[in-house]
């Protein structure tokens, strides 16, 4: 199944490869607005809706339409906000561990001096058998991040996300080369185009690339990020919005895991029926439902209408 068939007739793009005509038309229309940011997010929404529509019209789950290579996708629990007390942090992360989720992620970077102690609280809460990830959202300087990588390693932190700005590809590369060997460097959530991901991979800036289908020109862009990762033998991790990503993550061989982001899980359950189920630390799409499988709970959503 050609991925390009989802968005109507296929045309030749400027790089000589076939791409969906509707996708190219949308990208051309925003040439003078600039592609990164809100324009790419709007295209992402339309792209995801069209994939969903195509699968519904064919009466198949989107994971099957895209070419499923796995039944379910491992997730990591994600939250651990810097606004939490130590008790809230411990309760949230240990709660995910009790649900069978095998890795959890917390935020760092708001108060660097407190971060090693907060990370120690998290490790104490989840025990030694659950992987611990940290996400600095680019808050540290290079030297600060290097020093803290050493301190976090003492608590066996396995993933250091955006230790420095994701625009500082040389800085990410520095961290990747010099952080403890067990600690992976991850970034990519602000990628709005395949070119962004290619630059990040070619700079050897990350051990694991992240991509977000609500930003990177939709599920079409996410599939392209997957192809780039496969070519570079680098794993891909989906950023946020798990109900949107699960079908594509079942179909992209390079995917390692998905982010089970606290707020998005809550909102997806609040507003949609038919979302993926958490089974043994993995999300599993419901293959009895066509498309993304989601139905808006209209009465519940109505109260938020403007």
Binding mask 47-86 for Mg ion (x = CB under 5 A): ----------------------------------------
Q: Does 207 bind Mg ion (CB under 5 A)?
A: no
Q: Which stretch binds Mg ion (CB under 5 A): 36-44, 132-140, 141-149, 248-256?
A: 132-140
What Rg value do the Cα atoms of the chain yield, rounded? Answer: 19
Q: Which stretch binds Mg ion (CB under 5 A): 1-9, 86-94, 131-139, 243-251?
A: 131-139
Residue with Cβ nearer Mg ion (70 or 262)? 262
Residue with Cβ nearer Mg ion (47 or 135)? 135
Q: Cα 124 vs. chain centroid, distance in angstroms?
A: 26
Nearest of 102, 170, 111 to residue 130 by alpha carbon: 102
Q: Does 212 bind Mg ion (CB under 5 A)?
A: no
The least distance separating Mg ion from the CB of residue 206, rounded to whole angstroms, comes to 12
Q: Does 135 bind Mg ion (CB under 5 A)?
A: yes
Residue with Cβ nearer Mg ion (139 or 223)? 139
The least distance separating Mg ion from the CB of residue 238, rounded to whole angstroms, comes to 12
In whole angstroms, what is the distance from residue 243 CA to residue 249 CA?
A: 10
Q: Are 41 and 67 in contact (CB under 8 A)?
A: no
Two tokens at 124? 């104490």
In whole angstroms, what is the distance from residue 169 CA to residue 209 CA?
A: 13
Which residue's C-beta sits nearest to Mg ion? 135
Residue with Cβ nearer Mg ion (135 or 232)? 135
Two tokens at 180? 């403890």
Q: Are 190 and 218 in contact (CB under 8 A)?
A: no
**What number of CA atoms fall less than 13 Å from residue 155's CA on the CB side?**
25
The least distance separating Mg ion from the CB of residue 187, rounded to whole angstroms, comes to 8
Total number of residues binding Mg ion (CB under 5 A)?
1
DSSP string, 1-60: --GGGGGSSEEE-TTSSEEEHHHHHHHHHTTTT-STTHHHHHHHHHHHHHHHHHHHHHTS
The least distance separating Mg ion from the CB of residue 115, rounded to whole angstroms, comes to 15
The least distance separating Mg ion from the CB of residue 161, rounded to whole angstroms, comes to 5
Alpha helices in the chain (DSSP H): 21-29, 38-58, 62-66, 86-98, 115-126, 142-153, 169-178, 194-202, 218-232, 242-251, 262-271, 298-302
Q: Which stretch binds Mg ion (CB under 5 A): 12-20, 116-124, 134-142, 198-206?
A: 134-142
Residue with Cβ nearer Mg ion (135 or 184)? 135
Residue with Cβ nearer Mg ion (187 or 248)? 187
Nearest of 124, 37, 118 to residue 79 by alpha carbon: 118
The least distance separating Mg ion from the CB of residue 137, rounded to whole angstroms, comes to 6
Q: Which stretch binds Mg ion (CB under 5 A): 17-25, 66-74, 113-121, 133-141?
A: 133-141
Residue with Cβ nearer Mg ion (6 or 132)? 132
The least distance separating Mg ion from the CB of residue 166, rounded to whole angstroms, comes to 9
The least distance separating Mg ion from the CB of residue 291, rounded to whole angstroms, comes to 28
Q: Which residues bind Mg ion (CB under 5 A)?
A: 135
């Amino acid at each position: 199944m050609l991925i390009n068939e989802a968005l109507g007739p296929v045309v030749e793009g400027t790089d000589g490869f076939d791409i969906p005509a509707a996708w190219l038309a949308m990208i051309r229309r925003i040439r003078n607005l600039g592609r990164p940011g809100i324009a790419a997010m709007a295209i992402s929404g339309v792209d995801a809706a069209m994939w969903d529509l195509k699968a519904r019209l064919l009466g198949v789950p989107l994971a099957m339409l895209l070419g499923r290579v796995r039944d379910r996708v491992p997730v990591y629990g994600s939250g651990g906000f810097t606004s939490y007390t130590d008790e809230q942090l411990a309760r949230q992360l240990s709660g995910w561990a009790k649900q069978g989720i095998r890795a959890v992620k917390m935020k760092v970077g708001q108060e660097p001096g407190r971060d090693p102690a907060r990370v120690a609280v998290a490790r104490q809460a989840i025990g030694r058998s659950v992987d611990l990830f940290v996400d600095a959202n680019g808050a540290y300087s290079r030297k600060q991040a290097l020093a803290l990588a050493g301190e976090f390693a003492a608590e066996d932190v396995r993933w250091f996300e955006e230790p420095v700005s994701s625009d500082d590809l040389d800085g990410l590369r520095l961290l990747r080369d010099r952080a403890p060997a067990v600690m992976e460097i991850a970034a990519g959530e602000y990628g709005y185009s395949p070119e962004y991901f290619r630059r990040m991979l070619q700079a050897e800036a990350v051990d694991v690339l992240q991509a977000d289908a609500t930003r990177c020109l939709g599920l079409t862009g996410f599939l392209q990020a997957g192809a780039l990762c496969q070519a570079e033998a680098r794993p891909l991790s989906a950023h946020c919005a798990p109900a949107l990503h699960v079908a594509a993550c079942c179909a992209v061989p390079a995917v390692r895991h998905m982010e089970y982001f606290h707020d998005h899980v809550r909102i997806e359950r609040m507003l949609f029926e038919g979302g993926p189920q958490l089974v043994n630390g993995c999300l599993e799409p419901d293959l009895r439902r066509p498309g993304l499988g989601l139905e808006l709970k209209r009465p519940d959503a109505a109260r938020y209408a403007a």
